Amino acid sequence: MPDNVSERDALKTRQLPEMVLGDASPGSMTAPTIPLPAEMNSAAKAMARFSVKGNAIITGGAGTLALEAARALLEHGVSGLALLDINTAHSAAAIEKLRADFPSSTIQDFTCNITDASSVSIAFDNVVSELGSINILCNFVGVVGCTHAIDMSPEEWRKTLDINTTGAFLAAQAAAKHMISQKTGGSIVFIASISGHRVNFPQPQVAYNVSKSALLHLAHSLSAEWAAHGIRVNTVSPGYMDTILNEGEGLEKARNVWCERNPMGRMGQPHELTGPLILLCSQFGGSYINGTDLVVDGGGIVF
């Protein structure tokens, strides 16, 4: 019998794998968090509500937004931090500044090709070897290109989706494997974009838009599959941020358009992403937030 016929017949007897959801039973990974003690004073409660414990990995860790996030995570209590990037050398001074400002925290940087499963696995194993565990993953890695769809090469299309979407999946998968084996649960946050919700204007960037849209649904899917293990998966969708990637005379016209079409009349500042990120990473404040996207764009998405 031809292989294609036997494979078709086999479809009739296949069994679908089924995801297991949390049951919230006492002692399970989805049981409710214990309320903050009534005897705690208000200041202590405020600090505990948004504390971030354990060790964190940031992919794309040498970028402007990632380094801002790193500082916020350290301020809110992470004891260990690993910055993963294809090349961290251009941010060496900023990383050393973090080490100087937070001497009680262990801060490491590792070279990692986010699109290579072997490189990701080795990097995450090295992080666990150095820090002891993984409790938080923030995926900042990403590339953007502005090319008319009619002119886009298959290579550019594949590269954008490979880094922005496949790379995010490989990192999340590696983190989840460690979180599950540790039996600690954890928080995974993907940095998506308003580009995953709306078509950008005036620049054409179809590959980027599609990759970020896929990232939103990747988070939805993983949040369903991994919740039973105590792993929450969420996304933050920034609007146009005022970083070096959006600077220069050549972008002045576009910057003006972005600001004119925003209710707040401006671009976002890097530090304005840190509050939502800390909320999603916090063990108490974000404990029941799962499969959610927080849009941080000054209201630009309403148009």
Q: Which residues are catalytic?
A: 193, 208, 212
Buried b (16+ CB within 10 A) or exposed e, 178-212: bbbebebbbbbbbbbbbbbbbebeeebbbbbbbbb
Alpha-carbon span 70 to 91, nearest angstrom: 13
Residue 287 backbone dihedrals phi, psi, to 5 degrees = -65, -25
Distances in whole angstroms, Cα of residue 156 to Cα of each of 198, 246, 283: 21, 20, 39
Give the end-to-end CA distance of the chain in Å, rounded to a whole number: 58
DSSP 136-201: EEEE---------GGG--HHHHHHHHIIIIIHHHHHHHHHHHHHHHHT--EEEEEE--GGGTS--S
Provide the b/e sequence for 278-303 (b: ≥16 CB within 10 Å). Answer: bbbbbbbbbeeebbbbbbbbbebeee
What does the DSSP 8-state code read for residue 267? P
CB-facing half-sphere around the CA of 279: CA atoms within 13 A: 15
Which of these, 227, 297, 212, 292, lies nearest to 263 by C-alpha position? 297
